[in-house]
Chains A and B, each alone.
Chain A
Amino acid sequence: MTRYILRRTLWTLPVLLVGTTLAFLVLRLIPGDPVNLMLAARPASEQMRENLRRKLGLDRPLLQQYVHFVSRAAQGDFGDSFRTLNPVTSQIKEHFPATLQLAVGGLLVGVIGGLTLGVTAGLRPNSPMDSGIMFLALVGVSMPVYWLSMLLIFVFGLRLGWVPIVGEGWEALILPSFAVGAWAVGEIARLVRSAILDVRGEDYVRTAYAKGLPNSTVVLRHALRNALIPVVTIVGLQLGVFVSGGVIVETIFARQGIGTLLIGAIFEKDYPMVQAVIVITTGAYVLANFGVDLAYAVLDPRIRYA
């Protein structure tokens, strides 16, 4: 197990490095001089431009700039925002909780909803219940997340007035969590259903029934446990969908999260902010995937020794 963890840890490094490199290239590949972009709002003399260029390290060779950028990034320093002139990292810290709450909410909705629907459908294949659930799952994976968000706001927020749309409390998290999680509900329900159908024919399930265990025990202890393995994989692979969905949902629900920050920064050409958000979200994503892989190795001993 230790060897597996070690190998897996080493594997996260190239992804992080490529992420950092891409983020570095953003500022170098954009058309125009970053210094002009930074000073666009203010009148600036040639001397000011020169000082700023030196301060940003833009006068040095590209390779040196790159090494500098990576080593500072490793220490969590991404420079100052072009707009607010404050360190970007401190702004990201402020916005992080909102994003994390939404990701956790979406994950909970996706996993709980997906498992319940998938098991219900998988136990009665080809029943009307099964067809209904599978149709719902198809709707879930085909729904544009921004449209779903708007429909939820319109129906439950504006018309029925059941839940607040914006605010600090956990109630304001309900609708966005459903919007982010809907896709996962559909994807997980389909997977769990087919996984349950697969394991239903296995010897150990037949044995469990043969020794007189009640249906619920067989399903929960024997069938579902084995069906969970592909679910964990897909959750890991699809964490990116939570990130992407989160970015869009945040902007609709006006949540002050990383997504709102990123979209704003892209519009305002606040490149240090864009760079920092890309590196940090990639890092968080890689870390989450790492956690998923560990869970996977715990669930299925075959993985560790492969």
Chain B
Amino acid sequence: MPMETVLPSETVAVDRTGFLRRRGTIYALRLLRKSPGAMVSVAILSVILFVTTFAPLLATRDPGKVSAGAPVHAPDGAFYFGTDRLGRDVYSRVLFGSRLSLPIGILAVAFSLTVGSTVGLATGFFGGRVDAIGARLIDIMLGFPSLMLALLIITMFGIGIENVIIAVGISGTPRFARIVRGQTLSVRQNVYIEAARAIGATGPQLLRRHVLPNVRGAIIVLGTLSVGGAILQASALGFLGLGVQPPAPEWGTMLAEGKDLMRHAPWLMLFPGMMLFLTVISINLLGDYLREIFDPRLRSR
């Protein structure tokens, strides 16, 4: 990875969160400038965020409008990405699709992050019987293929955007719990925890002031890396017809619509897939970069 040159080896063991906070935003930006991969990813993500925010202005047509053009019309000057079977403008639909995939992915990760980190912090910090039971539960949850878990939840709760978020969120929860638990266990061993306890800090104070700041890096990194996966999983559900339902311009749903017309109208599957891929690859690049910054030792996980 090109990011390796960014950090001098003697700073490797330094607590990265504090390190960055002390050096400030400008320092973080300078680090970023030295990493071409991260710069590309930030550039692409900025474009995607811009597109998401200004989709109504950038779109050339109403994404839901049927017969905006001739059905299954190849890309040209009027319809940049062509039209689909119902004559809807693929370009406008792809733009509006980011307004579904991004929030769904982020909300699902927010769910996994909140629940998983809480469980991980509690089991790791309190130890004893809480940890014994918590750790087993986490292992059992990790024992399920995550798509199976998501499909199971969809089967029980039914199809719908909220259920997609819950399903993807629940299936991502055990990973957060496991990693945060591991980090908490190792932070708990430190002398400063003992010292804080000695001067009379209570459990909640210890957690908030000493444990949480030190596991925050791991949570941020895993959170970022998980958004890509969550977007993929949510649109996989859409693709299977069990996620966001047509006519919503969700990328996975659009890909499913394009599948059958692939031979004659490859643009129907090319552009939504491309947006999905670019979004996920730039989020993953950013996650890799953050991982290098916060904790180089996390790299092999």
Q: Is A175 an interface residue (CB 8 A)?
A: no
What are the residues of chain B within 8 A of A248 when measuring CB–CB?
Answer: 147, 236, 239-240
Assess A26 versus B152: contact at CB under 8 Å? Given A142-B280, A252-B259: yes
Bound CA–CA A139/B274 (angstroms)? 12
What are the residues of chain B within 8 A of A22 when measuring CB–CB?
Answer: 152
Say whether B255 contacts A194, CB under 8 Å: no
Say whether A147 contacts B146, CB under 8 Å: no
- Give the nearest-CB partner of A139 in chain B: B281
A-facing residues in B257-300 (Cβ within 8 Å): 258-259, 262-263, 266, 269, 273, 276-277, 280-281, 284-285, 288, 299-300
Say whether B146 contacts A134, CB under 8 Å: no
Assess A134 versus B281: contact at CB under 8 Å? Given A14-B136, A285-B143: no
Q: Per a CB cutoff under 8 Å, which of A131, A194, A247, A278 touches B300? A: A194
Q: How distant is B171 from chain A, measured CB to nearest CB, in Å?
A: 10
What are the residues of chain A within 8 A of B273 when measuring CB–CB?
Answer: 144, 147, 150-151
Say whether B235 contacts A247, CB under 8 Å: no
Assess A147 versus B147: contact at CB under 8 Å? Given A15-B140, A18-B140, A153-B262: no
A interface residues, tally (CB under 8 Å)? 54
Say whether A141 contacts B284, CB under 8 Å: yes
B interface residues, tally (CB under 8 Å)? 45
Bound CA–CA A144/B158 (angstroms)? 24
Interface 9-mer from A55-63, A88-96, A261-269: A261-269
What are the residues of chain B within 8 A of A151 when measuring CB–CB?
Answer: 273
Say whether A145 contacts B144, CB under 8 Å: no
What are the residues of chain A within 8 A of B242 when measuring CB–CB?
Answer: 263, 266
Say whether A278 contacts B152, CB under 8 Å: yes
Assess A286 versus B259: contact at CB under 8 Å? Given A29-B156, A146-B252, A191-B300: no
Q: Is A158 an interface residue (CB 8 A)?
A: yes
Assess A142 versus B281: contact at CB under 8 Å? Given A240-B144, A285-B144: yes
- Of the listed residues A23, A144, A240, A281, the one surrounded by the most CB atoms of chain B closer than 10 A to its CB is A144
Say whether A158 contacts B262, CB under 8 Å: yes
Bound CA–CA A3/B65 (angstroms)? 66
What are the residues of chain B within 8 A of A4 when measuring CB–CB?
Answer: none
- Give the nearest-CB partner of A274 in chain B: B155
Q: Is A209 an interface residue (CB 8 A)?
A: no
Q: Is A100 an interface residue (CB 8 A)?
A: no
What are the residues of chain A within 8 A of B241 when measuring CB–CB?
Answer: 263, 267
Say whether A142 contacts B240, CB under 8 Å: no
Q: Is B128 an interface residue (CB 8 A)?
A: no
Say whether A289 contacts B262, CB under 8 Å: no
Bound CA–CA A29/B300 (angstroms)? 40
What are the residues of chain A within 8 A of B143 when measuring CB–CB?
Answer: 15, 18-19, 282, 285-286, 289
Q: How distant is B152 from chain A, measured CB to nearest CB, in Å?
A: 6
C-beta contact mask, A273-292 vs B, less than 8 Å → 1, else 0? 01000100110011001000
Say whether A147 contacts B255, CB under 8 Å: yes
Say whether A26 contacts B140, CB under 8 Å: no
Bound CA–CA A198/B239 (angstroms)? 40
What are the residues of chain B within 8 A of A282 when measuring CB–CB?
Answer: 143-145, 148
Q: How distant is B175 from chain A, measured CB to nearest CB, in Å?
A: 10
C-beta contact mask, A119-132 vs B, less than 8 Å → 1, else 0? 00000001000010
C-beta contact mask, B60-73 vs A, less than 8 Å → 1, else 0? 00000000000000
Bound CA–CA A195/B266 (angstroms)? 40
C-beta contact mask, B215-243 vs A, less than 8 Å → 1, else 0? 00000000000001000100110011110
Q: Is B154 an interface residue (CB 8 A)?
A: yes
- Of the listed residues B228, B252, B273, B288, the one surrounded by the most CB atoms of chain A closer than 10 A to its CB is B273
Assess A143 versus B277: contact at CB under 8 Å? Given A26-B155, A150-B255: yes
Assess A281 versus B148: contact at CB under 8 Å? Given A25-B156, A26-B156, A230-B300: yes
What are the residues of chain B within 8 A of A262 when measuring CB–CB?
Answer: 151
What are the residues of chain A within 8 A of B144 when measuring CB–CB?
Answer: 15, 19, 240, 282, 285
What are the residues of chain A within 8 A of B288 when measuring CB–CB?
Answer: 138
C-beta contact mask, A187-209 vs B, less than 8 Å → 1, else 0? 00001001100100000000000
What are the residues of chain A within 8 A of B300 when measuring CB–CB?
Answer: 191, 194-195, 198, 230
19 more A-B residue pairs beyond the given contacts A144-B252, A282-B143, with a C-beta to C-beta distance below 8 A? A18-B143, A19-B143, A26-B156, A30-B155, A31-B158, A126-B4, A144-B255, A144-B273, A147-B255, A240-B148, A244-B145, A244-B148, A247-B147, A247-B151, A248-B147, A248-B236, A262-B151, A282-B144, A282-B148
Point out residues on B near A: beta carbons under 8 Å.
1-2, 4, 136, 139-140, 142-148, 151-152, 154-156, 158, 228, 232, 235-236, 239-242, 252, 255, 258-259, 262-263, 266, 269, 273, 276-277, 280-281, 284-285, 288, 299-300
A/B interface sample: 30 pairs, CB < 8 A: A18-B143, A131-B2, A138-B281, A142-B280, A144-B255, A144-B276, A145-B236, A146-B236, A146-B239, A147-B273, A150-B259, A150-B262, A154-B262, A154-B266, A154-B269, A158-B262, A158-B263, A239-B145, A240-B145, A240-B147, A243-B148, A244-B146, A244-B147, A244-B236, A248-B236, A263-B242, A274-B155, A281-B148, A282-B144, A282-B145
Closest 10 A/B residue pairs (Cβ): A244-B147, A240-B145, A147-B273, A142-B281, A15-B143, A243-B145, A142-B280, A150-B269, A29-B156, A146-B239
Point out residues on A near B: beta carbons under 8 Å.
14-15, 18-19, 22-23, 25-26, 29-31, 126, 131, 134, 138-139, 141-147, 150-151, 153-154, 158, 191, 194-195, 198, 230, 237, 239-241, 243-244, 247-248, 251-252, 262-263, 266-267, 274, 278, 281-282, 285-286, 289
